[in-house]
Each structure stands twice: as structure tokens, then as C-alpha cells.
Structure 1
Amino acid sequence: MLACAMLHSSGNLSFRSIANMTAFTSSDEDQAFSASWRTTHDADDHASCLQHWKQRYDQLTAGLFSGNFEEFWFDNLQVFRERTNQSVHEAGQSWEGSRTFGVPVEIDGKGWYCGQILDLNSIITLKGGEEMDFRTPKVQEILAVTTDAAALNDYALQVEHRDIEAELAGKRVLPASAEQAATLRDFLGTVMASLRATPEMLRHAAMRKALEQAIYGSLIASINPDTEHRPTPSGHARRLVVERAREYMNAHIEEPITVADLCAELRVSRRTLQYSFQDVLNLNPVSFLRALRLNGVRRDLKRAADHSASVADIAARWGFWHLSHFAADYKSMFGELPSETLRNAGHRID
């Protein structure tokens, strides 16, 4: 039986080490996020790691079971990684109203997922309420995301003009290429590494929003769209899109605007936004918005009254969740590291 070993508090966060389980949670009333890590030595115990799922794991191959599990929860998302060293049969369901995607990181042996062969380039999916029937390979490490299906579909409709739930109907293994699987695997691995290093960044609503949208974009990119001809907007229409986008950005200059915000406000797809910015400004909207957010960070760093302000906190408030990429982009833009801007803030005379 697991027993509580220690409890530490820091600001509005708490860190708990519970025997072979570690948990890191927000103590805010809204429970903005939680993070947990666990090592297991029993397949049945391992099945209980995943919150709000109904699962049963039966060990199929002989030998001492060893598993590792880590999970991050925030807003509409449950992001997790699990590793097992024995073949197990996994049965059960995810939480109601959810949609799950998974991609293997490592496998040794053959696996079967809902009647189909699982290999390293498989992207699997499961809808809440559907029965999972999964015989894992002898060794398996998998990265996965479970999210609110309606939230993902609303995002896809607004930003990509795609009905993802309709496209996924009846599918359990997506017809993805090796490149698509590798892209999703690498992206989710980067997300997990960033959250593992600095889970406290999830305190910031803007960072959670930016990360949620980045994950949604990556998941949608792994789903091959139904082939259809989509007319491109005319030159006049593209100029109008950019004009309206800039008006919106000027009116929200102190906010971390995202591409999804612009798509929702202008009622255009990401593709239309991309064509319009590239044609009119010779710059893609992602780069344009990143530049605005970098300038927002710089203004906040320069305004910092004392050194109690953290670069990571300010970056997170502007939606930057990958700190090393942020620091590199910031230095490329302004010729100095964000820490140097913050350090010099106290020496400037207003």
C-alpha cells in the first residue's frame, strides 16, 4: 500500500512524494493543473495510474513486471507517457466525452490494437465510451493525449474548417505516414520534457492556452484530411483578411494573441490566413504573432521593478512554453538574452 512520505508547499503549488509516486499539483481552487510520476511493479497497479479511465491490465508474458508512468493534466488535456516491460492485455474505456491519440516511442515485438497490427509508425485513437482492446508488445513506451473531444473538434472547425470527429468515425489506427508519426512523437516528447522540467509554468492561463492549441494543431496535422478542392482567396480578399487581422492585433496589443484567435475572430481557416499573410506581408502569421509576443515579453522585462520577476514566468504569461526555443528566438530578435534584458531593467532611468 502506498504511504505518504513528505509534503512540501511553494507558493500556490505543492510537491508530494508518495512511496513510488510523485505528484505536483496546483493548490488553487480551480486546480489549474496536476503532474504525477510513478514507478510500478504490477500490471494491475499500473492500470490504475491513468486518472479517470476505467482499465484492467492482464500480464501475458512471464517475468517481473516493471512500469513507468508520467501524466500532466491541465484544462481540457491529459498528456501522458507510459512504459511497460511485459506484454499486457489492456481493456477498458477513457473518460466520457474524450478523444485519445497515442504514438509509440519504442516497441519490442508485435502488438495488436483493436484488431490491427501496431508498429512504431502507428498512430492510434480511441473515443470516450468505446472499448479498448490492446495487446501490447513485450516492451512498449507510448506517448498519448486524451482531450475533450468537443473542444478539439471546435478548434478544428474554427482553425482548419475540418470536422475531425466525422473524419475519425470508425477509425482506431490512423493511416499516417512514418514522417507524420515521427513528427507527432517528437512534438509530444518535447512537450513532456518541457512540462517535466518546469511544471509550474502551467499556472499561467496564456501558457496553457498556447500549449493546448499547439497540441491540437499537432494532432490535427497527424490526421490526413479528406481530399477536396478548396478555392484560394483572391488578392483583394487576402488584403482584407490581413487588414482585419492587424486591426484586431492593434486592439489587443497587450495580449498573447494566437493564430486560433485570429481564425475565430475573422472566421477564416488557418490556410486562408497563411495565404493572406504570405501574399500581403511576405511573412507567415505564426512568425508575425511570435514577433508581437516577443515584443510583449521584452516590454514586461523592461518594466520589471525588481529581480523577483522570473523570465520563465513572464515568458509563460505570453504563451511561450518551450523555454530554450523562446530564449533563442528572443536573442535572435533583440540581440540579447531575456535574462540580460531583465538584469539591465534596474539600471534604466525612466
Structure 2
Amino acid sequence: MTATTASHDQAYTAVARDTRDADDHASCLQHWKQRYDQLTAGAFCGSFEEYWFDNVQVFRERTNQSVREVGQAWEGSRTFGVPVEVDGKGWYCGEIVDADSVITLRGGQELDFRTPRVHDVLAVTADAQALNTYALQVEHRDLEAELATCRVTPSTPAQAENLRSFLGTVIASLRATPEMLRHAQMRKALEQAIFGSLIAVAGNQSENRPTPSCNARQLVVERAREYMQAHIEEPITVADLCAELRVSRRTLQYSFQDVLNLNPVSFLRAMRLNGVRRALKRADPAAGTVADIAARWGFWHLSHFAADYRAMFGELPSETLRSAMLHRC
């Protein structure tokens, strides 16, 4: 390996490496058992980037020679991978894959992948039980049952592009500010966002339950508001509401849209933005930077956060903090 940078914290690890040997490259991925055999002639050049926190291992790897990858992911995991760039087609566990293929692998299953000559891929390996519990609670889907025999998910090119774009944004955000992962609420929000993106790419499963009545929708919103009021100082997520109310994301969506003319994601984002604003106005020196406060409220994409904050309150979060500090002086 020609270059290695690593950051290790009790809450997360971040690793970036450049490689010049296929066998060395195979050893980059933590807790996987892998062997890479180079198949095409030429000097090997690879790059690898990985972030691991809680139940999630997010990584990107690029190789410039066709290799055969064999091995296994860590036991109890579920992996999804989507290409960023490929030179031709590959062969994955008995199926032809191309630029719009989203591959998946269960921990313990045998990996057998002949990559294209150029292969740049974004991937997530997650704790399968945690991911499936989220899918059951939020989407009322048994993801592991759906993917039992799948090696390539039944996703569309648009779904593959959505996952590619989302994971690219995640990697870029973590590369810029990995220290945000020290905050438990930020890790929770990012993990749930990743889980949601993986579920979305795994086919199109419709909810077979009847649409709730108007009274039922009103009750869902009332119960949601009661829960949020009781946890006003906490960055509540859609998954929290689904688990607490025992309804799916779709039922929650219908209910909020009809009763409040606002989707639950927007409503919760507004509540979290208000929570950040209160924290900034208190201007506790121990609260840390704007990024620290945003992370405590589950905002992992700082540029989106700043834009949403300005749209909501007419000023940047740094301006709120500066004004609060001036008033304290």
C-alpha cells in the first residue's frame, strides 16, 4: 500500500488508502474475508475509502484492472453495491452486471465477482437484523425474505442512480467532516437515511393494507404531535414515529399530508431546525461549533442544513450564533 490515512474513535473509524497490488487491496475492507486475483495485464492502481459507525460500513473502492474477487462479508451482514464507473460488464455470482446493476450479498454467502477492467463502486455493508427491523417498522417489508435468493436487486436505472447519488453525497460529507460521527444523534440520522435508501432500491413493494380513514389519519397526527411534544428537545425521526405509532411510513405520509398539508419529513425537519435555533440562541460555549450543534440534531449534510436553516429563519446559523454571543457580551 502506497498511502494510508486513518482515524479511529470510539464511535467510528475512517480509512483512506491507495494501493498498488490487488492482493493488498483485498485486505482493505475490514472484517471481510477476501482474495483478489488480477486478470488483466498492467500495473495495478487502486483506491479505497471506508467509514464504519454503529451498524453501518460505507465504502468506495476503485480498481484499474479486471480482478476476480472471492470471499465472504462479515457474518450477519447485508451488502449493497452500485457502480460509479465501469469499463464494460462484469460477472457477479452467475449474473451479468453493468453500470445500472445494484448487487447484494448476505453475510456468509460466497462472493464470486469478475469485475470490469475499470471498476469504481460505492457500497454499504449493514447489520442485516438492524436493517430488516427498520424495514419492518417503517415500510412493513421483510427485506431479508424479499432478497433471500437475490444477488442483483430488481431495481430500475433510476433507482440505481438515486442510490449512487445518495451514497456519493454521504461519502463526500464524511470525508469532509468525519468528526461529526462522534455525535450519537447524527449517527442515528445517517444510519436511518442509509437504511431508507437501501430499502428504496430493493424493488417496488406496495403496501397491501387499506388506506386509513379520515378519523384514523387525524388520530395518527394527534398521537405524533403528542409524542413530539413530550420529546421536544430530541431530534425525532420518521422511523421513531413509525415505531412509536406502529404505522408504516406510507400511512404517516398520508396522515400528515391530509391533516397538515405537509409531509412528515418536512414537519420533523422544521422541528429539528427549531431545536438547532434554540441551541444556537442559548450560545453555550460548551455546545461547540455550528456543525457540532447541527450534528447533535441529526443534520449530516451541512450545506443542505445551512440552506434549509436560512430558508426557514432568513439568516445563516452562524449569524444566529454570532448575534446570540453579542447579546451575551
Is TM-score (shorter-chain normalized) higher than 0.5? yes
Secondary structure of 2:277 counterpart: helix
2:275 aligned with 1:292: no
Q: Which residue of 2 aligns with 1:69?
A: 48
The structure carrying a bigger helix percent of its residues is 2
Unaligned 5+ segments in structure 2 are: none
Distance 1:326 1:79 in 2: 22
Contact 1:107 1:141 in 2 (8 A): yes
Structure 2 residue corresponding to 1:304, chosen from 283, 287, 292: 283
Q: Which residue of 2 aligns with 1:13?
A: none
Distance 2:27 2:92 in 1: 20
Distance 2:59 2:225 in 1: 37
1:55-74 CA distances to partner (integer Å, 9 max, x unpaired)?
00000000000000000000
Distance 2:6 2:279 in 1: 32
Structure 1 residue corresponding to 2:3, chosen from 20, 44, 55: 20
Distance 2:223 2:153 in 1: 37
Q: Which residue of 2 aligns with 1:247?
A: 226
Equivalent AA in structure 2 for residue 85 of structure 1: N
Q: Which residue of 2 aligns with 1:130?
A: 109
Contact 1:306 1:346 in 2 (8 A): no
Secondary structure of 1:174 counterpart: coil
Q: Which residue of 2 aligns with 1:348?
A: 327
Q: Which residue of 1 aligns with 2:99?
A: 120
Distance 1:60 1:91 in 2: 13
Query: How far is 1:145 from its partner?
Result: 0.1
Equivalent AA in structure 2 for residue 25 of structure 1: H
1:294-314 CA distances to partner (integer Å, 9 max, x unpaired)?
000000001013497200000
RMSD: 1.3
Contact 2:140 2:207 in 1 (8 A): no
Structure 2 residue corresponding to 1:94, chosen from 48, 67, 73: 73
Runs of 4+ residues over 3 Å off in structure 1: 225-229, 305-308
2:158 aligned with 1:175: no
Unaligned 5+ segments in structure 1 are: 3-18
Distance 1:136 1:69 in 2: 16
Query: How far is 1:25 from its partner?
Result: 1.5
Equivalent AA in structure 1 for residue 8 of structure 2: T
CA 1:171–1:324: 2 relative to 1, 3 Å? same
Contact 2:287 2:293 in 1 (8 A): no
Query: How far is 1:235 from its partner?
Result: 0.3
The alignment of Structure 1 onto Structure 2 pairs a total of residues equal to: 329
Distance 1:324 1:316 in 2: 12
Q: Which residue of 1 aligns with 2:296?
A: 317
Secondary structure of 2:327 counterpart: coil
- What TM-score do you get using the length of structure 1 for normalisation? 0.92
Secondary structure of 2:300 counterpart: coil
Secondary structure of 1:210 counterpart: helix
Identity of aligned residues (%): 76
CA 1:339–1:226: 2 relative to 1, 3 Å? closer
Query: How far is 1:228 from its partner?
Result: 6.0
1:230-273 CA distances to partner (integer Å, 9 max, x unpaired)?
31100000000000000000000000000000000000000000
Distance 2:310 2:207 in 1: 42
Equivalent AA in structure 2 for residue 21 of structure 1: T
